[in-house]
């Protein structure tokens, strides 16, 4: 497993909170915690402060992902999953959470609310052409690979 250094500044709201870290040696994501107390009502969306700002190295991104336990037990997930933190962003990391549960969800400062995965980025150079190469799938989409029969059969 390779490691890179990501510089981190604790903002005033993040003082005293733990740094992002993995829970086990095999974990891909580092836990992000809330820097505020907040209640999210059913159906509501909230950008929750983490109290940190990052300098992710060029050529990498931060992927913000939901915590599976919060999703399963409470219906709390990252709305734009995975959210991207670009290497040139230096503002506070905030996690966009939505409550798909049936009741209000209370977050207390220091609660783990999301995971952060640092991943390499490959950028594409788009080339305009007149036609695309053929493929078995062709232009079929939106569930076409899950069909057991062809439409119209």
In this predicted structure, what is the pLDDT of residue 122?
A: 96
* CATH number for the domain harbouring residue 48: 2.70.40.10
pTM: 0.86
- What domain range includes position 70? 7-122
H/E stretch holding 74: helix 68-74
38-40/60-65 β-pairing: unpaired
Residue 44 lies inside a defined structural domain of this protein: yes
Nearest Cα neighbor of 16 from 43, 35, 41 is 35
Number of domains present in the structure of the chain = 1
Using the structure block, give the residue that is written with the tokens 């594409």.
Answer: 124
Residue 12 lies inside a defined structural domain of this protein: yes
Render pLDDT for 94-132 as a digit per residue (tens, 0 to 9).
999 999 999 999 999 999 999 999 999 999 999 999 999
3-state SS assignment for residue 6: coil
Render pLDDT for 67-100 as a digit per residue (tens, 0 to 9).
999 999 999 999 999 999 999 999 999 999 999 9
């Amino acid at each position: 497993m390779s490691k890179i250094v990501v510089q981190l500044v604790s903002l005033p709201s993040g003082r005293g909170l733990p740094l992002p870290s993995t829970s086990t040696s095999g974990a891909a994501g580092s836990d992000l915690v809330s820097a505020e107390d907040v209640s999210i009502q059913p159906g509501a969306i909230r950008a929750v402060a983490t109290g940190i700002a990052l300098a992710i190295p060029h050529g990498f991104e931060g992927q913000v992902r939901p915590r599976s336990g919060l999703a399963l037990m409470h219906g709390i997930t990252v709305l734009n999953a995975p959210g991207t933190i670009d290497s040139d962003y230096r503002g506070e990391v905030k996690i966009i959470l939505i409550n798909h549960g049936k009741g209000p969800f209370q977050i207390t400062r220091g609660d783990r609310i999301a995971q952060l995965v640092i991943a390499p980025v490959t950028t594409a150079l788009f080339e305009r052409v007149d036609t695309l190469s053929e493929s078995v799938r062709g232009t079929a989409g939106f569930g076409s690979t899950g069909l057991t029969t062809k439409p119209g059969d």
